[in-house]
Amino acid sequence: MMDLLQQSVPADLEPEALAELRRLKPIRFDKGAVIFRPGEEPPGFLLVAEGKVGVYLVGRGGREILLYSVAPGQTCVQTTLGLLGGQSYAGEAVAESDVVGFVLPRGGFQRLMEASSGFRRFVFQALGVRLNDVLHVLELVAFVTVEQRLAGLLLERADAQGTLLVTHQDLATAIGSAREVVSRRLEALAQKGLITLDRGAVRLVDRAGLARLRQTS
């Protein structure tokens, strides 16, 4: 389990900082588990060692948009901002797979931020990456059409055979749209011969056509 922890933190941490992290006990989350909800206070700094966590912004009507994902070696910007600024969570985190993580309590986080330059560098570099991810999502939602976002997502997520096992709601959440809108756009893409639709699956027929749509829609 310590190997998993070392994979999630930088290799250049000072021995004292690494020793404090090694005292942490692993926490497991089953796929689908909600790790935190809006309004809750961050109990500590989450280090993901195995699996993936999705962080979502949830609207009043229940509509969701994926802000970013946290994989091993990455951090959660909402947790970092909450610990640094004393803010509660604004989004919801869900285990996208079985997850193994470690939680550094608030007091330990503050001690390492003060005493460890390696830990501070890790936190702020990861924070910068995560903020760029969030800004990218905002840019897509504000300035890129649904067709462009959908075409790009299909191209990015399809496997080597051009297949995505995914629901319309999953696609809508990923691009920041509504399920009904995505369903209509998928039907339009199918009518153009760019994709075919099966229950729970999308199959790409014309990758080049989708690439052109992503650039010009």
Band the pLDDT of 37: cuts 50, 70, 90. Answer: very high
Q: Which residues contact 109 (CB under 8 A, 6 or more apart)?
A: 44, 45, 83
Last residue of a domain, one of 142, 169, 204: 142
Last residue of a domain, one of 142, 158, 187: 142
Q: What is the pLDDT of residues 154-199, one digit of tens each?
A: 999 999 999 999 999 889 888 878 788 899 899 999 999 999 999 8
Q: What is the pLDDT of residue 186?
A: 94
CB 214 within 8 A of CB 158: no
CB 101 within 8 A of CB 48: yes
Average of per-residue pLDDT across 95-122:
93
Share of the chain above pLDDT 90, in %: 50
Q: What is the pLDDT of residue 61?
A: 66
159 and 126 in one domain?
no
106 and 52 in one domain?
yes
181 and 203 in one domain?
yes
CATH classification of the domain holding 55: 2.60.120.10
Q: What is the pLDDT of residue 114?
A: 94
Q: Is the pLDDT of residue 1 over 70?
A: no
Tokens of 50: 């195995």
Q: Is pTM beyond 0.75 here?
A: no
Q: How far apart are CA 46 and CA 169, in angstroms?
A: 28
Last residue of a domain, one of 106, 126, 142: 142
35 and 132 in one domain?
yes
CATH classification of the domain holding 192: 1.10.10.10
65 and 23 in one domain?
yes
Domain region containing 138: 2-142
The mean pLDDT of the chain is 88
Number of other residues whose CB lies within 10 A of the CB of residue 187? 12
Q: How far apart are CA 150 and CA 171, in angstroms?
A: 8
Query: Distances from the Cα of 55 to the Cαs of 1, 207, 216, in angstroms?
Result: 25, 29, 30
Of the listed ranges 9-18, 22-31, 35-44, 73-82, the least confidently predicted one is 9-18
Average of per-residue pLDDT across 133-140:
80
Q: How far apart are CA 114 and CA 102, in angstroms?
A: 20
Instruction: Give the residue among 5, 9, 2 at the shortest CA–CA distance from 123.
Output: 9
Instruction: Give the residue among 70, 75, 55, 68 at the shortest CA–CA distance from 124.
Output: 75
